[in-house]
Amino acid sequence: MRDVAVIGVGLTKFGELWDKSFRQLIAEAGSKAILDAKIEGKDIDALYVGSMSSGRFVDQEHIGALVAEVSGFSQLHIPATRVEGACASGSLAIREGYLSIASGINDVVVVGGIEKMNDVGGSEATDILAAASDQEWEAFFGATFPGIYAMIATRHMHEYGTTKQQLAQVAVKNHANGVNNPYAQYQSAISLESVMKATMVAYPLGLMDCSPVSDGAASVVLCAADKAKKFTDKPVKIIGSGQASDTLALHGRRDICTLDATVHAAKMAYNQANVTPKDIDFAEVHDCFTIAEICAIEDLGFIEKGKGGTAIDNKITTMDGSLPVNTSGGLKAKGHPVGATGVAQIVELTLQLRNEAGKRQVKDARIGLAHNVGGSGATCVVHIMEGM
């Protein structure tokens, strides 16, 4: 198996992008990544695209081929494949691209992630997202994701004494980080009080505990590590890739406060990278709701199970803490165009490890981790990256 590096990255701004079409978004992110990587069409062996529900959000399936076309690669007949695993679709696309290079079949692969969610109304978006949960046991009976994560949160509060204020502090931290990310949907700080007093969605999760409905696209160019220096002076290596599954419905899990798929995916990635959680300098984790970030830092092995809330109190995960988490603003402030999220996490890791993250740069960042979740944890993907 060959080593694989990221040699180029591109992002659109995330947000409510009424003035840009699905095609424009993916073309923008892709062309930025290709320019950044200084590659040409003839260098590209394959495309992978992550999107959760383009069929329902914009009436378009078959978007692998569409992305090849809008990127100008149809005449080259480059293989183009869409990958889906709900909100983890982007990192699954990264992983498939990674495997195709590791296998020796491809040398250079462009990976895209996209979701354009605002073209449908808010309640329809919630319905579409619910198709990432178990249709027969959850969605059919009216469960949507705020309610599902609220059950995780109330159980976490019951088991471990986690407080609503600790949850709120996750949102405050991620908005503080988002201020320094020009691509973030919300580049505004928020107060603890405003999160605590926000409209209740599903107790204990208020409106500001929830990531938004977003449009956006992200792209990275992957390359066999031994050929990366041909294109760029600053390749960033993927040193670990892990993926795991769990039951689609929450009720099937061993423990609803633990995402076992995260635990297993992380173990796989740590083993491959030959590192431990202590070696990670910063992380992008899947904070679709504030409780999800608390579970993530526990399940990834950064913090003992049940102590995630206390870690937030102790500011371990702020920019100045010992393990900055969601320096990009996370899903909460950067935005969460679901298929783009996993790819955007790899963009953030790459920028940090190239020392190009501007005002949100983590000092001496050497090893970063990205953690992407589908649904309430039925799919989890973890990547670990290191500068070359």
Closest distance to a second copy from the beta carbon of 357 (Å): 30
Q: Taking CB under 8 A as the rule, does residue 82 contact a second copy?
A: yes
Q: Which of 3, 16, 69, 119 binds a second copy (CB under 8 A)?
A: 69
- Is residue 336 flagged as an active site residue? yes
Q: Taking CB under 8 A as the rule, does residue 117 contact a second copy?
A: no
The DSSP code for 52 is S
Choose between 99 and 176: whose C-beta lies nearer to a second copy.
99
Closest distance to a second copy from the beta carbon of 57 (Å): 10
Q: Which of 99, 176, 179, 388 binds a second copy (CB under 8 A)?
A: 99
Residues 6+ apart with CB under 8 A from 341: 87, 90, 113, 218, 286, 331, 372
Residues 6+ apart with CB under 8 A from 174: 287, 293, 326, 329, 330, 332, 333, 334
Q: Taking CB under 8 A as the rule, does residue 68 contact a second copy?
A: yes
Q: Checking DSSP bridges between strand 236-245 and strand 215-224, what pairing results, if any?
A: unpaired
Q: Which of 65, 292, 351, 353 binds a second copy (CB under 8 A)?
A: 65
Closest distance to a second copy from the beta carbon of 53 (Å): 5
**Per-residue DSSP letters for 130-173?**
HTTS-TTTTGGGT--HHHHHHHHHHHHHHHH---HHHHHHHHHH
Which is catalytic among the residues 87, 288, 295, 380?
87
Q: Which of 62, 158, 251, 363 binds a second copy (CB under 8 A)?
A: 62
The DSSP code for 36 is H
Which tokens in the block code for residue 344? 């955007």
Q: Taking CB under 8 A as the rule, does residue 213 contact a second copy?
A: no
Q: Checking DSSP bridges between strand 205-206 and strand 108-116, what pairing results, if any?
A: unpaired
Choose between 96 and 293: whose C-beta lies nearer to a second copy.
96
Closest distance to a second copy from the beta carbon of 81 (Å): 5
**Per-residue DSSP letters for 243-309?**
EEE--SSGGGSS-TTS-HHHHHHHHHHHHHHT--GGG--EEE---SBHHHHHHHHHHTTSS-TT-HH
Q: Which of 15, 212, 330, 375 binds a second copy (CB under 8 A)?
A: 375
Span near a second copy by CB under 8 A; candidates 76-84, 165-173, 277-285, 324-332? 76-84
How many residues touch a second copy under the rule CB under 8 A: the total is: 62
Closest distance to a second copy from the beta carbon of 189 (Å): 34
Identify any residues that bridge with 110 across adjacent strands, giving them in sequence order: 47, 221
d(CA 242, CA 382): 5
Q: Taking CB under 8 A as the rule, does residue 74 contact a second copy?
A: yes
Closest distance to a second copy from the beta carbon of 209 (Å): 23
Question: For the chain, how big is the Rg over CA atoms in Å?
Answer: 19
**Which H/E stretch holds residue 96?**
helix 89-102
Contact 93, 112 (CB under 8 A): yes
Q: Taking CB under 8 A as the rule, does residue 55 contact a second copy?
A: yes
Q: Taking CB under 8 A as the rule, does residue 273 contact a second copy?
A: no
The DSSP code for 361 is P
Q: Taking CB under 8 A as the rule, does residue 7 contact a second copy?
A: no
Which tokens in the block code for residue 213? 């409905």
Q: Taking CB under 8 A as the rule, does residue 374 contact a second copy?
A: yes
Closest distance to a second copy from the beta carbon of 136 (Å): 8
> What is the length of the chain?
388
Which is catalytic among the residues 264, 286, 336, 371?
336
Q: Taking CB under 8 A as the rule, does residue 73 contact a second copy?
A: yes
The residues binding a second copy (CB under 8 A) are 1, 23, 46-47, 52-53, 55-56, 58-62, 64-66, 68-69, 73-74, 77-86, 92, 95-96, 99-100, 102-105, 128, 131-136, 139, 243-248, 252, 260-261, 264-265, 374-375, 378-379
Catalytic annotation, residues: 87, 336
